[in-house]
Amino acid sequence: MVVHVVANCLAAFRHMAVLLSLRLLPFAIYGVLAATALRWRALMAGAYLVVPVVACYLGARSSLFVIGIGAAYYLLISLGVNGLSRRLADGRISRGGALVALFFFYLLLPGVVFPGTALLLFLIVGWELVLSVYSYCVETSRAGSTTAPLRDCLFFLFVNPTVVYSARGTPEVAPDEHTGLWRAATGVVIMFVNAAALRPFAAYLHNSIALAGLPTAAALTWFAYGVGRFFAGYAAHSGLASIHIGLMRQAGWTVPERYQYPFLATSPMDFWRRWNTYIRAWLEAYVFLPLARRAARATPRRSAQVIAAFVTLLVSGLIHDALVFAGRQTVTYHMSELFLAAGALLVVWRLAAFLSGAIRVRLSIHHTTQFDLVTRLSSRLALTGAVVAAAIVWG
């Protein structure tokens, strides 16, 4: 057991070091270029070099090579983003055509040239770059908008993690010199705890399921495993988000929170409002709102919102599966199944809320504390069960 846990920790640390190398490189370059004092430039460069050195020591030298090549490639093709924005404004290319072109150059082409496990980490930046570039081009191509200087454009694409240009945050007038260091350090600690404890513990629970004798013990082990998988994934995502937010504060920018305690959600919609708010804002701006406006013309408002939300979740699943297709050149609908299940849950939840209201009216229940308590408890248990089941099946 000890050997298994150590092996899992080493693998997690290696992936963590590669991921941080990939994510922190733009911040390190920006910090070196933007810092006025030479000692701060040297400190930022030296602090960043610790991460790839650790990754090399843990056996990730080939992955770091792919990261270096990929970062240079992404930087090169991103130099033409302002030109794409002008073509979109002039009508020489449609939004759909721009999105297809971005998918090809930022995901599919690198996926064909550099397949492998390291590329999947490498594509974590690529697919968010697709969303960021698309948002930048759409927002700057609108009537009356102008493209930003190349420096500001690259800052948004590679340093700012928000992926929606109109919600990219605001620069602070007089930022504190150390305001973001504690937040970034908290993110590192969260990722360390995830790699050292949460992920190995979830793996241990998964291996213990077959050893559980009684059905009740097996069911409890499955439930604990699902909870462990969920919090391991949440810690990995929120830890990295805390590092980004802290480094943005250190750079003098205030950006929105990315994860807002989704385990405190009271409904499926509330869960998606709290989970990865950057991607949710992108989907809301470029998928949900256009669909909701069109559907509202033909259907009642409430039905239009449900349909638009269901389609938006499906699009999110297809985007995730497109990432897998680009990296492995294999067609899978794994994540689409997850988001379709989330859409079905949303529909069932709305139906249950409607029936609950009908029962309240039918029985003339207006201010019954017991009825409200049972409703809230049932909703929380149902949502918890759905999240745990999703973590087990699709986590």
Mean pLDDT on 63-67: 75
> Residues 77-131: pLDDT tens digits?
998 899 999 888 888 888 888 998 998 888 888 888 877 666 666 777 888 899 9
| Pair 54, 135 in one domain | yes
| Pair 119, 268 in one domain | no
Q: Is residue 157 part of a domain?
A: yes
Say which amino acid occupies 186: T
Q: Is residue 271 part of a domain?
A: yes
Q: What interhelical angle do 117-140 and 2-34 show, nearest 10?
A: 40
Q: Is residue 315 part of a domain?
A: yes
Q: Is residue 346 part of a domain?
A: yes
Q: Are 295 and 307 in contact (CB under 8 A)?
A: yes
Q: Are 359 and 371 in contact (CB under 8 A)?
A: no
Residue 24 has which token pair? 């922190």
Other CB atoms within a 10 A radius of the CB of residue 174 amount to: 5
Q: Are 232 and 184 in contact (CB under 8 A)?
A: no
Task: Please tell me what DSSP assigns to residue 35.
Answer: -
Is pLDDT larger for residue 124 or for residue 177?
124
Q: Are 169 and 252 in contact (CB under 8 A)?
A: no
Residue with tokens 């594509």: 123
Q: Are 51 and 13 in contact (CB under 8 A)?
A: no
| Pair 7, 151 in one domain | yes
Q: Measured between alpha carbons, how far is 34 from 89 in angstroms, rounded to an integer? A: 31
Residue 171, Cβ density class (10 Å: 0-12 exposed, 13-18 middle, ≥19 buried): exposed
Question: Taking the alpha carbons of 291, 294, 299, 305 in that order, is the dihedral positive or negative?
Answer: positive
Residue 217 has which token pair? 């013990």
Single out the residue in 200, 224, 257 at which a domain terminates.
Answer: 257
Single out the residue in 257, 281, 300 at which a domain terminates.
Answer: 257
> Residues 270-314: pLDDT tens digits?
898 899 999 999 999 999 888 888 877 766 666 777 788 888 888
Residue with tokens 């929105």: 256
> Residues 236-265: pLDDT tens digits?
889 989 988 988 887 788 889 999 999 888
Residue 201 has which token pair? 């513990």
| Pair 24, 55 in one domain | yes
Instruction: Of 154, 13, 135, give the one whose Cα is nearest residue 71.
Output: 154
| Pair 279, 223 in one domain | no
Q: Is residue 176 part of a domain?
A: no
Give how far the C-alpha of residue 309 lies from the chain's centroid of Cα atoms, to the nearest Å.
18
Q: Is residue 77 part of a domain?
A: yes
Residue 179, Cβ density class (10 Å: 0-12 exposed, 13-18 middle, ≥19 buried): middle
Give the range of the structural domain holding residue 8, as residue numbers without chain letter: 2-171
Residue with tokens 């409890």: 220
Lowest mean pLDDT among 69-78, 243-252, 325-334: 325-334
Instruction: Of 187, 199, 168, give the one whose Cα is nearest residue 241.
Output: 187
| Pair 206, 271 in one domain | no
List the alpha helices (DSSP H) in 297-368: 301-328, 334-362
Q: Measured between alpha carbons, how far is 160 from 244 in angstroms, rounded to an integer? A: 8
Q: Measured between alpha carbons, how far is 52 from 314 in angstroms, rounded to an integer? A: 37
Question: What confidence score (pLDDT) does residue 165 get?
Answer: 92
Say which amino acid occupies 276: N
| Pair 219, 246 in one domain | yes
| Pair 47, 126 in one domain | yes
Q: Is residue 352 part of a domain?
A: yes
Percent of the chain, pLDDT > 90?
11
Query: If you average pLDDT over every residue of the chain, what do you get?
Result: 80
- Strand ranges (DSSP E) for 173-280? 253-254
| Pair 381, 295 in one domain | yes
| Pair 227, 80 in one domain | no
DSSP 3-state of 135: helix
| Pair 229, 280 in one domain | no
Single out the residue in 141, 171, 201 at which a domain terminates.
Answer: 171
| Pair 236, 269 in one domain | no
Q: Measured between alpha carbons, how far is 16 from 10 in angstroms, rounded to an integer? A: 10
Q: Is residue 272 part of a domain?
A: yes
The pTM of the full predicted model, rounded to 2 decimals, is 0.87
Q: How many domains does the chain have?
A: 3
